[in-house]
Amino acid sequence: MDIKVNVRETDTETNIVELAGEIDVYTSPKVKDALGELIDRGVYNLVIDLEKVRYIDSTGLGVLIGGLKRVREHGGTVNLVCTNPQIKKIFDITGLVKIFGIYDSEDAAMKASV
Amino acid sequence: MTVPPPEQATAETVELRIPRKAEWVAVARLAVAAVASRMRFTIEEIEDVKLAVAEACTNAIQSADGADQIEILCETDHAHLRVTVANRRGVGAAIVAPPLAEDEVRIDGLGVFLIRSLMDDVEYAVDPESGSRLVMIKRLAS
């Protein structure tokens, strides 16, 4: 069990962070470090692609919330790409659907972050 | 609300003990998911149980009671899956709170909220002698 993090620059100020695997109490520090590194470099607009994430728990949600909090301090945004019903359900029941923009595709998330 | 034990006549039990370390939580959630999959739960319900167990183990890891192991007890019968997640404190284990960042405190609350949302009944107790214990039940649809 692991999490893979792949960061892609785009021709806009937004970077795409592709996550693949499972985000839990063991793997979430790796995601936190990756997001922290981007934000420290001044990247404040992020699209986080969760399409290849099979599982996320509250520590993973906490990392996403932490990232959002940091970019918002700089007027930035975090938009998510997620179509997995089980993962969307977790965002629904925690009310995080009201905090994050959640989109069905990277294109839609990118358009929303411009 | 009191969580009823499964009916003794048909109850079966699976026990697992893991080190109180983050890297072992996946083992616990997959083991309990395997138990749930032997019952008539839907895939979505099995995912609910898996997440609830992981949250309970994460809670145990982040708690401050000095336990060195986590015990997971699954009791099944024809109608329920009852999972108990308990911290097991070693002899002489120090009761020292790990430092938590502000975000982590809030995340801990989110985990408990998820457990309560995903399971049908939840009870939490802290015993100064034996450590903390969380009991949760998922009922099979009749």
Where helices occur in chain A by DSSP H, the ranges are: 28-40, 58-72, 85-93, 106-113
Which of B47, B54, B61 is facing A86, going by the closest CB pair?
Answer: B47
Does the residue B119 lie in any domain? yes
Tell me the residues of A at the B interface, defined by beta carbons under 8 Å apart.
1, 22, 24-26, 55, 57-59, 61-62, 65-66, 69, 85-86, 89-90, 93-94
Does the residue B88 lie in any domain? yes
CATH of the domain at B104: 3.30.565.10
Containing structural domain, residue B27: 12-139
| Residue A75 backbone zone (phi > 0: left; psi -120 to 50: alpha; other: beta) | left
Give the pair of three-digit tokens for residue A85: 């019903």
pTM confidence score: 0.86
Does the residue B113 lie in any domain? yes
Q: How far apart are CA B125 and CA B142, in angstroms?
A: 29
pLDDT number for residue B89: 66
Give the pair of three-digit tokens for residue B78: 């024809």
ipTM of the complex: 0.89
Does the residue B1 lie in any domain? no
Number of separate domains in chain B: 1
Does the residue B35 lie in any domain? yes
Does the residue B3 lie in any domain? no
Please report how many Cα atoms fall inside a 13 Å half-sphere around the Cα of residue B33, on the Cβ side: 16
Q: How far apart are CA A110 and CA A106, in angstroms?
A: 6
Does the residue B41 lie in any domain? yes
Residue B110 to chain A, least CA–CA distance (Å): 6
Q: Which of residues 30-89 of B touch A (CB under 8 A)?
A: 44, 47, 50-51, 54-55, 57-58, 61-62
Per-residue pLDDT of chain B (142 residues; tens, 9 = 90+): 555 555 444 689 999 999 999 999 999 999 999 999 999 899 999 999 999 999 999 988 887 666 789 999 999 999 999 999 998 765 444 333 344 444 443 445 889 899 999 999 999 887 776 677 899 999 998 7
Per-residue pLDDT of chain A (114 residues; tens, 9 = 90+): 689 999 999 999 999 999 999 999 999 999 999 999 999 999 999 999 999 999 999 999 999 999 999 999 999 999 999 999 999 999 999 999 999 999 999 999 999 986
Does the residue B80 lie in any domain? yes
Which of A26, A62, A93 is facing B26, going by the closest CB pair?
Answer: A26
